[in-house]
Amino acid sequence: MPGTTLDTHSDSISLRIVDAIAEATDTDVYELEPLYNVVDPEALDQLFRPDSAVDIRVEFEYGGLLVEVRSDGTVVIDGTVHASD
């Protein structure tokens, strides 16, 4: 669906991660390799539920980029904040 945008304030954390990677690499989200090749997006969505009070941080590598996801919804790519609630 070209032209579709993600609502980074209400979409799942896995979609926010994909959006942040696309922004960081200046690549259309539909041209990225699937996130599930690196990490389980459903597991991330469960771990980072909005109703969770647990303070966590997950890091993984995607295409040579260091991706950090924080419990407050912040997504950091190679040290640069790209999305948060």
**For 14-62, what is each residue's pLDDT tens digit?**
999 999 999 999 999 999 999 999 999 999 999 988 777 788 999 999 9
Dihedral sign computed on CA atoms, order 71, 9, 43, 79:
negative
Determine the Cα–Cα distance for residues 23 and 19; give it in Å rounded to an integer.
Answer: 6
Its pTM stands at 0.81
Query: SS3 of 83, please?
Result: strand
Under DSSP, the state recorded for 34 is P
Q: Which of 66, 77, 26, 67 is nearest to 44 (CA)?
A: 67
Structure tokens at 12: 């799942």
- pLDDT given for residue 1 in this prediction: 41
